[in-house]
Amino acid sequence: MSYNSFGQLFRMTTWGESHGPAIGCTVDGCPPGIPLTAEFIQTFLDKRRPGQSRHTTQRREPDEARILSGVFNNDDGDQVTTGTTISLMIENVDQRSKDYGDIKDKYRPGHADYTYIAKYGIRDYRGGGRSSARETAMRVAAGAVARKVIGDVSVRGALVQIGQHKIDRSRWDWNEIDNNPFFCPDPVAAKDWEKYLDGVRKSGSSAGAVIEIVAEGVPAGWGAPIYGKLDQDIASAFMSINAVKGVEIGDGFEAASLSGENNADEIRIGNDGQPRFLSNHAGGILGGISTGQPIVARFAVKPTSSILTPRQTVDCFGNETEILTKGRHDPCVGIRAVPVGEAMMALVLADHYLRHRAQVGE
Ligand SMILES: Cc1cc2nc3c(=O)[nH]c(=O)nc-3n(C[C@H](O)[C@H](O)[C@H](O)COP(=O)(O)O)c2cc1C
């Protein structure tokens, strides 16, 4: 039984634990002849890498990905995919397992410690083992390959809320994303968040976040009806990310409070003679199939569970006790979830592109 694979035609399988010697993934189904280098993959990993600002965990992982298989030099001397399984690997170099020794018998609230024991009867307690978000580095690496498959489609993510602090959408500027440590498109909100998150961190607490992922350039027609819906697969992809507790497509839960007149996206004929939507409440998907508009989806991440404030719990011997989680943690895991969300969107789109091509051609 495998629970470590995602996708149908474009399929990623990840392996490894937080404090094992390495983590890795295989990517199956990638078409041949696509230029692919470790440097390209690295640009995306560098965005997720820990320890880049005081607002993320201080674990120092260079996160250097190696391509072990699936590429070869073509006649021009360029490294391209061969159509065989691509294997990617990252060595873990900054494990500090002793941080976790004193909690090995305790179930950390908000973590998967209890449920892994309930299911398997054994767990790697070092950094959460397989349940650790260290695994998401491989999603980002595989997502970089997926981006190559979907060519001109752009997939970008932004943090739109930390704790109760939302951005002002009228100030949305994609160019701001790289100007602050939060992937925040609103420069004013980013400034406020600095102060807010410093306070959260100093008090030993944590905050949740909402991440928005936008895919532009997806033509009308990708996706499928009934049980193969594009929005269904995006929801599944986002929900599989650690700490995600909610997903929205388009207006999401807000759509419930709109009237039918306001919600249904009206259609006219554009200058190119093709249908043109006057709004995008649907988030670019109707009936599980892309409309050609931007695909807009959001996910909510819960506040980091590992905090410096003691919490009540039990141990594996049946005793009630308290726990204080030392170790190095992100005060808001939503920040580093942005590149992970982008990767999951790219993986879904690459899979649906290939599925669309297999059934109806380009
Ligand atoms: C990028 C990323 C980094 C994370 N880092 C931490 C962390 O440092 N501390 C923590 O308590 N949880 C962290 N998490 C969340 C936990 O992995 C997650 O809450 C836990 O495994 C339980 O799973 P669940 O919340 O999905 O039910 C992180 C999540 C993401 C997406």
Higher per-residue pLDDT: 328 or 287: 287
- Ligand 1 centroid vs 239 CA: distance in angstroms? 13
Residue with tokens 């998150």: 197
Paired residues of 216 in beta bridges: 154
Name the residue at shortest CA distance from atom 8 of ligand 1.
329
CB of 200 within 6 A of ligand 1: the answer is no
Using most ligand atoms within 8 A of CB, pick from 19, 123, 182, 305 the residue to mutate for ligand 1: 305
pLDDT in tens, 275-317: 999 999 999 999 999 999 999 999 999 999 999 889 999 999 9
Task: Pick the atom of ligand 1 nearest to 325's CA.
Answer: 11
- Ligand 1 centroid vs 282 CA: distance in angstroms? 30
% of the chain residues with pLDDT over 90: 88
- Spatial separation of the C-alpha atoms in residues 46 and 38, rounded to whole Å: 12
pLDDT in tens, 20-57: 999 999 999 999 999 999 999 999 999 988 667 777 77
Q: Where are the beta strands (DSSP E) in 146-278?
A: 154-162, 165-166, 209-216, 244-249, 267-269, 275-277
DSSP for residue 223 = B
pLDDT at residue 90 in the model: 97
Q: What is the mean pLDDT of residues 63-73?
A: 97
Task: Pick the atom of ligand 1 nearest to 136's CA.
Answer: 1
Residue with tokens 């419930």: 256
pTM for this model (two decimals): 0.97
pLDDT at residue 16 in the model: 97
CB of 112 within 6 A of ligand 1: the answer is yes
CB of 155 within 6 A of ligand 1: the answer is no
Name the residue at shortest CA distance from atom 19 of ligand 1.
243
Using most ligand atoms within 8 A of CB, pick from 333, 335, 336, 338 the residue to mutate for ligand 1: 333
Task: Pick the atom of ligand 1 nearest to 108's CA.
Answer: 11
- Spatial separation of the C-alpha atoms in residues 162 and 177, rounded to whole Å: 15
- Strand 320-323 versus strand 267-269 pairing type: unpaired
pLDDT at residue 99 in the model: 64
pLDDT in tens, 230-251: 999 999 999 999 999 999 999 9
Task: Pick the atom of ligand 1 nearest to 48's CA.
Answer: 1
Task: Pick the atom of ligand 1 nearest to 306's CA.
Answer: 11
Q: Could you tell me the pLDDT band of residue 362, with boundaries at 50, 70 and 90?
A: confident
CB of 335 within 6 A of ligand 1: the answer is no
- Ligand 1 centroid vs 107 CA: distance in angstroms? 15
Using most ligand atoms within 8 A of CB, pick from 17, 44, 119, 304 the residue to mutate for ligand 1: 304
- What Cα–Cα distance (Å) separates residue 333 from each residue in 16, 136, 174, 273, 300? 20, 12, 21, 45, 11
- Ligand 1 centroid vs 38 CA: distance in angstroms? 26
Question: With 0-12 CB in 10 A as exposed, 13-18 as middle and 19+ as buried, what is 253?
Answer: exposed
Q: What is the mean pLDDT of residues 168-186?
A: 97
pLDDT at residue 127 in the model: 87
Which two structure tokens, joined as six digits, stand for 285? Answer: 């998907």
